[in-house]
Structure 1
Amino acid sequence: MSTPDEITDKPAAPLWPAGSATGIGSVPGTDIAEAVKFTLGELPDLPYLPELPARGPGADMIGRSAGLLVELPVEIYTGRWRVAASPGRELRRAYDLRERDLDQLTEQADGFTGTLKVQSAGPWTLAANIELALGEALVSDHGAARDLAESLAEGLKAHVADVQRRVPGAQVLLQLDEPSLPAVLAGRVRTASTLHTYRSVAPSTVRDTLASVIGAAGVPVIVHCCAPDTPLALLREAGAAALALDLDLVGAGAEKLDAIGEMIDAGLGLLAGVARTTPPGNGTRPNGAALAERVKRLWRDLGFADELLAQRVVVTPSCGLARATPAYAQAVLKACREAGRRLVEQ
């Protein structure tokens, strides 16, 4: 790991304003107008297009992201998304929901200038959660998984361009959500019968597929994975500009600490998930000062220069907020914003 002086000598172009805070993606509720209004107002340095999975099929992570695929229609069959012969009702609903979301963003972000984040599931999480017509996940067929990644890359490129057209003053960041990635690498994805698992996918294949999707986006890409065995080095090699991590899962132990340090040393940004997504048993709400201190403690342990902290780290919830109450979700994002400001003031 580099010394503080060495990392200071090779600054990277900032991805976001110093002291930024943002959300991971999902929020509770079904009112997209209110959700967009809140993220734009409460997270002015790094707002994001919120996701509302409570609206049902097509708003869930897999369905919403599958709606971005090009010439690869999907449908719901026995409660799971699978490849279809043609777009069906659920996919048309996903298209409609996305259009409503973007219309609200266009209206409410009129005149916005700054950094704006949008999200999609990544290729391996989609491959692990979308089935072929015969019932097994796409991850079971490397050719099908490759076709899915190519389709997603094309769709994400078009989606990012659409957001840039609608909000021309925005510098767009794309976040790829890959919660299933560790299971894909370890061969832990269950077959349709749930009795067995699919064989693991080689790290080089996973890395190269991610690199192709990241390269096609045309904007900096954040990869989010809230798992204790997140492959940090692989994601760095794939070309991620930043990683979004749950610090409670990956921030403990010398080996994991070294891996985080190496990624920061390589120039990546860190979206530090430090705020609980659901309240503790005593109902205590998150405290901005405590969140900031958690991030500062990690940074001190890594040994990097203090003045770089607010530039390279964004304060976030540990994961999505879909299971929180609206009041708690708002409290979390407000606390993250306060924590981000405290990082600047240290």
Structure 2
Amino acid sequence: MSEKTNKHSWGAAAATGVGSMPGDDAREAAKTVTGSLEALPYLPELPVRGPGADMIGRTAGMLVEVYAHVEPSGWRISDRPGRDTRRARSWLGEDLDALEEFTQGHRGALKVSAVGPWTLAGSLELRNGEVALSDPGACRDLTASLAEGLRAHLAEVRRRVPGAEVVLQLDEPSLTAVLTGTVRTASGYRTHAAVDRGVVEGALRDLVAAAQAPVVVHSCAPNVPFGLLRRSGASGVSFDFSLLTEREEEAIGEAVEGGTSLFIGAVPGIDTALSDPAGSVRGVRTLWRRLGLSPGTLAESVVITPSCGLAGASPAYARAALAHCVRAARSLADNPE
């Protein structure tokens, strides 16, 4: 195979996190992330703080002219902003304050994340209790609202960190379920119909265009649709390496050939004994050889991450995991064979 060289703002041999961190101290999380990840730091999420700090609540707080509140069953669309919307925006403001404090003088890539349109549609309930995925019009409205909200959010990040080259991560753990028609209805007895792949791709393409920045789509679920994400214009795809199947490998090769970066979750996201850094990415090197990709492009095409968010880890392990990702990424550059 001959492949394009990936030249993104984070450079070669980069590492980053997925999103969530343990604990409820925004300053401590920002200090850990910015201190550990020089090439690609990110805005942490701290879901343990409660509703509004979780990924659905944080993203709901970004929406424009669409509001949500918490019900026992989850987040539900509201007529007007209420306490839960205000709380989500307050948590995000606190997180941005902390990030701004610890990125003074930063120049280079900086990653922020939000839930993508299809996971959001599969999670936000309409007034009748069914998720927005059940209504194509509601899906279109959510996508448009999210696009406007993300434009404002990215502009705010750029204002606070003027030297940042912002990278947007769209979290889409439900994307495969949306495509295969396995998202359950409110009753639990049926599933919502699969959404046409062209419609799914079109909504993602709209978000990529709205961001005016590199977009990485993350899913820690099996069977990530690499081809669809590449066609949507995503600059990178983030996934759990342990869930990769042989069927997906050909699509990965095509993605790399097209210049798409792979954010490979190669380090466990929960407390465990960590192997040597080179051992953590041995499977990545093996995959590269199996696909016939040039070893020289490995460090440029791959960013090493934990397998998923670190909210379930201890603070000490979270710090160790991020440092391990950095060392593992460097090992790809030092010894790509």
SS at match of 2:14: coil
Contact 2:6 2:261 in 1 (8 A): no
Write out per-residue CA displacement over residues 101-157 of structure 1, whole angstroms, 9 at most, x where no aligned residue: 111111111100111100000000000000001111000000001000000001001
Report matched runs for 1:184-333 at 5 Å.
Answer: 184-250=178-244, 252-253=245-246, 255-279=247-271, 283-333=272-322
> Counterpart of 1:49?
43
Equivalent residues in 2 for 1:59-138 (5 A)? Answer: 59-138=53-132
Residues 207-228 of structure 1: CA deviation (Å, up to 9, x unaligned) = 1011111111110100001122
Secondary structure of 1:171's aligned partner: strand
- Per-residue deviation, 1:275: 0.9
Calculate the aligned-residue CA RMSD, in Å: 1.2
User: Partners in 2 of 1:12 and 1:30 — Cα distance?
Assistant: 36
Shift of 1:266: 0.9
Report the more deviating stretch, 129-138 or 320-329: 320-329
Q: 2:300 is aligned with what amino acid?
A: Q
| SS of equivalent to 2:195 | coil
2:68–2:75 Cα contact (<8 Å) kept: yes
Secondary structure at the aligned position of 1:67 is classed as helix
Q: Is the 8 A contact 2:183 2:191 kept in 1?
A: yes
What is the CA–CA distance in structure 2 between the aligned matches of 1:114 and 1:184, rounded to whole Å?
Answer: 35
- In the aligned structure 1, how far is the partner of 2:278 from the partner of 2:319? 16
Distance in 2 between the 1:177 and 1:95 partners?
Answer: 19
Which amino acid is 1:145 matched to? Answer: C
State the SS of the aligned residue for 1:131: coil
**Residue 289 of structure 1: CA displacement?**
2.1
- Per the TM alignment, residue 79 of structure 1 is displaced from its structure 2 partner at its CA by 3.7
- Structure 2 unaligned regions, length at least 5: none
Q: Aligned AA for 1:54?
A: V
Equivalent positions of 1:105-184 (< 5 A) are 105-184=99-178
Superposition deviation, residue 194 in structure 1 = 1.2
Q: Residue 223 of structure 2 contacts residue 248 of structure 2 at CA under 8 Å; is this kept in 1?
A: no
My pick for the range that moved more, 300-309 or 161-170, is: 300-309
**1:16-35 correspondence to structure 2 within 5 Å:** 16-35=10-29
Amino acid at match of 1:320: G
Deviation at 1:56, TM superposition (A): 0.4
Q: Can you list the C-alpha shifts for 1:207-258, whole angstroms capped at 9, x where unaligned?
A: 10111111111101000011222111111111101000111112x32x3211
Contact 1:16 1:311 in 2 (8 A): no
CA contact (8 A) 2:13 2:300 kept: yes
Give the drift of 1:196. 1.2
Normalised TM-score (structure 1): 0.94
d(CA) in 1 for partners of 2:81 and 2:8? 40
- Segments of structure 1 that go 5 or more residues without pairing to the other structure are none
